[in-house]
A and B are shown apart, each in its own frame.
Chain A
Amino acid sequence: MRRVTKRWGQVATRGTGDAEPGRDRAIAIAGTDAGGRAAARRAQAEQREGRVAAGLSELERWLADQVAQGIAQARQTGLADWDDLARRLVDAQAPGVAGTVARLSRVLHAEDWPGLLLGEYALLHLLAVAHRRAAALPEPLRQTVRARVGFPVTRESVLATAAVRDHWDVVGSRDEEQERLVARRVWLAGRTTGRAAMVLSFTPAGQPPDASLALGTTIDADLAFYPGASPLRALVAERYGLADAGPPPGTTVSRVPALIAEVLTADPWADSWPLVLAGVVPCLDGLADEEGNALPLHPSAGVPWRLLAVSGGRPVTVAAEWTPRGLLPLTTWDEEGGVVRL
């Protein structure tokens, strides 16, 4: 099972910043000796840099055009425009940006869509400019920019970095189907380091996804992080065992703003971060501490009835995904310490 997942994990990484095996194979066939292969790979990489740079400068011009002409028509013309633009960005080998553009249509559901859309355009603009000036950026931020643009990072290079060993609580997971693949995000929280991590895996739709990280368990493991200014995505490099540790420790509502500010200072494009909150009372539209300070839920989350049911109006531990528009509850722990997926 694991082997299958792994194989697909590599094939399925278009748009997620991993290597592209199909392309590698083509190069391997083209070049016969080792030196030729390396040269071919270099040429290929240079070609890609050129295509991405051209694609992103076209994006910059497109964004400036939109804002110059006015975005009032986006509701009518947006879907077709973004589709077209996303396709051109895929051709330009910038799958990360292409994905962001393809997801723009989500803002149209909101009442304040003009503000949300301007925000998204502004961050895309920032990304294109940052890529253009990448040479001047500190290395971690440059890596973040390249990852967001969609440059591949191989598993091998990630596994070659210094790993972080900790007791990692598996605090949340979510599956999302995209193009006949199920993308599974598993969020982890380190007991000693206090670090957050996200392990991404892909499985063809209809097959059981990778179940090696079970919600509610705690694993003693080495995690290798993908490079970046605010690293979150990680691989399990080595597992030492399963620790029986009970519900994870959590932070408080009042500490969340500083934590998020730190994440965004390092990576202004961050739009997802896992949080474990202890002692929060779920409300109909947010999570409150006992002083009544509340973090709002994402509008699409609806009323968190299961979470409310478990809490009964009393403080509980909740794992949630932070997003710019509010929290998406992931997990809670009941009175008996049992894990409840939300």
Chain B
Amino acid sequence: MTVPWEELVCAALVGADRRGVPPESLLEQAAEQVVRTRAGRRPGRGGPPAPAAAETLPLVPGAAADRLARMLGGEQGRLLTEWLETAAARRVRVPAELIPGLLDLGARDRSIRAYLGAVTGARGRWLAGLNSAWAYLLAEPAHVPPDEVWQLGTSGDRRAFLAALRRRDPAAARDLLARGWGAETPEDRTVFVTILADGLGMADEPFLEAVLDDRRREVRQAAADLLTRLPESRLARRMTARVRRFVTRRGAGVRAEPPAACDAAMERDGVRARPPAGMETRGWWLQQVVAHTPLSFWPGHLGMPPDEIAGTRIGEWEREVRMGWTRAAILQRDTTWARALFEAEPLTDLLAVLPPEERSQRAAELVAGHPVDGQMVMMLGGVPRPWGPRLAKAVLKKIVETTRTQPWNAGELVRLAGERFDPAMHTRVVEVPELAAILRFRFDMLEELA
């Protein structure tokens, strides 16, 4: 008697006239069925997910949670990383309802993932298991090292375990790694190699040399980066033999000639054949070979101390050779070279190699003698928090000056200072209200998390 709903829809689509049905009657039947269907709908079957594991960490205090919610809403959003870093160090977890917002941020910003692994607790990992966009979280250590973590733990737990073992007993960590090497994923292999940087020595050389035969370029490169820190390594000797022909003393200066080809042996040693966009291919090879040569080779080879080498004109390929040395100073954590190269050209990345006190001092000098521009802000961006008193003083002076003369130029520097100054300074920067406000915010934020 009742016309099936699908038939009514069909008739309405093609037109009631063509079906010979009065349109009013069609509408009336449809109305009756719509209401009946809506009123008579029975619950379907739902598949609730398995419950999450119990939490092991205490919840963050209420005031701190409220502030985090406001920050996620946009208030002082740039300070979010510091909030997360502090909460992770305090071993507290965030309220569950804030986890999805945080995990969305982590999907875009790798730098906060390690903190998210710690502060989102069991609930975070449970959610990461339900949403593939958040699966990265499962690779972060979770502050819960269970027994047999090396066999059964998440990727992140195993990394944390290996790092801890490496700190205690470097040889044991290397042997553990070597035993199951073939079964590890390429991503894990890359990270595991970098963990060996802690306590690196010639005892690691045979293992790392073997890793140069890995199928994955990232893994090979990680091994090559470590081997360049060992001047006695076979890789270091091969690089030295190569570079000897490419960079030579010419009179008072230095002359460079890039490799003619990138052969298989070079690729095995971590040299990438394909240059990044916009870079000349042979120059790219030259830069990488220089970057992977032990810096101790150069004074003998060129007959000059590092500070002289850093100031020498090279002519053609100068840019590539300098970039190579800079990269080498960073990879090999060589303070002498970093200092010499920074004198010649103040590159932010080099500051990271210097001890904190000196880093602060050099940055302060630079600030005093430079106008506020993008380059200065970028340089300062490379100096991690907290900035020492000397640097803070220099930056504050600069901000006050700039605010007076070019207020439109001070904004970015003020915000950066707000992130990096010691927050206890909030009472001493009243002449710059925006800076005082950010520092006050951080001061309260850290108090709440204490």
Contacts and interface: CB of A to CB of B under 8 A. Distances in A.
A198 interface: no
A319 interface: no
Contacts of B50: 313
Contacts of A71: 12-13
A123 B31 contact: yes
A125 B27 contact: yes
Contacts of B44: 286, 293-296
Tell me the dominant secondary structure on chain B's binding face.
Answer: helix
Given A64-B24, A122-B30, A306-B100, A313 B17 contact: no
A334 B14 contact: no
A283 B38 contact: no
Contacts of B126: 312-313
Interface stretch (A46-54, A144-152, A252-260): A252-260
A340 B17 CA distance: 53
A340 B97 contact: yes
Nearest to B127: A309
A283 B130 CA distance: 10
A72 B12 CA distance: 8
B45 A70 contact: no
A261 B42 CA distance: 11
A63 B27 contact: yes
B48 A282 contact: yes
A314 B53 CA distance: 11
Contacts of A64: 23-24, 27
A328 interface: no
A310 B181 CA distance: 40
A265 interface: yes
Nearest to A64: B23
Contacts of B12: 67, 70-71, 114, 118, 121
B78 to A, nearest CB: 24
B378 interface: no
Q: Which of B12, B16, B95, B130 gathers most chain A CB within 10 Å?
A: B12
Contacts of A67: 12, 15-16, 23, 26-27
Contacts of B16: 67-68, 70
A157 interface: no
Interface in B200-218: none
A284 B130 contact: yes
A268 B15 contact: no
Given A69-B15, A122-B34, A308 B95 contact: no
Contacts of A295: 43-44
Interface in B95-154: 95-97, 99-101, 122-123, 126-127, 130-131
Given A296-B44, A334-B95, A305 B100 contact: yes
Contacts of A314: 51-52
B49 A309 contact: no
Contacts of A66: 23
Interface string A219-247: 00000000000000000000000000000
A324 B34 CA distance: 9
B182 interface: no
Contacts of A114: 9, 12-13
A253 to B, nearest CB: 5
Nearest to B24: A64
Interface string B137-173: 0000000000000000000000000000000000000
Given A256-B43, A309-B123, A313-B51, A72 B13 contact: yes
Contacts of B18: 70
B74 interface: no
Nearest to B62: A338
Interface in A254-304: 254, 256-257, 260-261, 264-265, 268, 281-289, 292-296, 303
A72 B127 contact: no
A118 B41 CA distance: 18
Contacts of A310: 96-97
A260 B41 CA distance: 9
Contacts of B26: 67
A107 to B, nearest CB: 12
B9 A115 contact: yes
B28 interface: yes
B48 A118 contact: no
Interface string A77-106: 000000000000000000000000000000
B340 to A, nearest CB: 52
A289 B46 CA distance: 8
A293 B52 contact: no
A126 B23 CA distance: 13
B46 A260 contact: no
A119 B41 contact: no
A100 to B, nearest CB: 14
A67 B13 CA distance: 8
Interface of B: 5, 8-9, 12-18, 23-24, 26-28, 30-31, 34-35, 38-52, 95-97, 99-101, 122-123, 126-127, 130-131
Given A118-B8, A123-B31, 18 more contacts: A64-B23, A66-B23, A68-B17, A70-B14, A72-B14, A114-B13, A115-B9, A118-B9, A118-B30, A121-B12, A126-B28, A257-B41, A284-B130, A292-B46, A292-B47, A306-B97, A309-B97, A313-B48
19 contacts: A64-B24, A65-B23, A69-B17, A70-B12, A72-B14, A114-B9, A115-B9, A118-B12, A122-B31, A123-B34, A125-B27, A126-B28, A254-B43, A257-B40, A260-B38, A261-B39, A293-B43, A294-B46, A313-B49
Top 9 A-B residue pairs of the complex, sorted by shortest distance between their CB atoms:
A294-B46, A70-B15, A288-B46, A122-B30, A312-B52, A313-B51, A122-B31, A305-B100, A281-B48
Interface of A: 63-72, 114-115, 118-119, 121-123, 125-126, 129, 253-254, 256-257, 260-261, 264-265, 268, 281-289, 292-296, 303, 305-306, 308-310, 312-314, 324, 334, 340
